[in-house]
Structure 1
Amino acid sequence: MTEAPRTDTARLMELLSVSLGVYYGDFTIAAASENLTASQGKALTVLRRGPAAMRALAETMTCDASNMTGIIDRLEKRGLVRREASPSDRRVKNVILTAEGERVTDAIRAKMHTTRDGLDRLSDEERDRLYVLLERAFVTRPACS
């Protein structure tokens, strides 16, 4: 039995690019259905993980802090997020998802039919493997030396 040829990094990057393009398009349409820009939807998704300081949120979203302020201002006006002073440093503002923000985030995810259909084609075992691989490749980062 011969071993399958290894996939090189360039081919993986291309497939990842296609996958992310499908995901981003699906996400953008779902966010728009909730009258949100993709950036506003992304901010809600990031905040779904937990409260974040404005600066950390801007870094996570790779966006300028002044742009982040505008995004959060618009989300706050709609009652999707609120700002609170950090308990450890009153100068730092944490952004917190409201119950309505959680509802909208869930609605966006529920409307991402193309992405859901693709993931639903995988078995439970394949999804578990994909989760572990994506987490290892992109979430778990080595400590700074």
Structure 2
Amino acid sequence: MPLSSSVRRHYSYLRSSAMPITHSGSCMRGRVKFNVTGPLNPPDACHCVQCRKQSGHYFASTNVLRSSLTVSGQDNITWHHSSEKVRRGFCSTCGSNLFWDPPARDWISIGMGAFDSPTDTELEIHVFVAEKGDYYQITDGLPQNAQ
């Protein structure tokens, strides 16, 4: 997923923030925990077949700079290479879907459901809606990209 200009501007803010905010999260059992320093980017909802099969529905995630992310319990993360360019990380113990990782990029996506509340952000866009399931409609008025 390429970063939009608004996300790139937000990353510039993350790099210059004087008093960073920290957002925490974990898997269901707490075996994998993470902290993100700085405000979260607006998440997207991916409706692609892979995300639907991984999560059981669409997958809402936010992109964060790797340098702003700390993870404990990395030994409990299993990585599945879902393509040549991307791997998906989930907890080996409880199965929580946590990460969508394009290793060649300076950012990683984290599933919104893994964050402890509040996240202080809102869904921004739906992507890969051409692949969405036929059992639901997108009615929230947010932008929708076919891919």
TM over 0.5: no
TM-score (norm: length of structure 1): 0.27
Q: Which has the larger radius of gyration?
A: 1
TM-score (norm: length of structure 2): 0.27
**Which has more strand, going by share of residues?**
2
**Which has more helix, going by share of residues?**
1
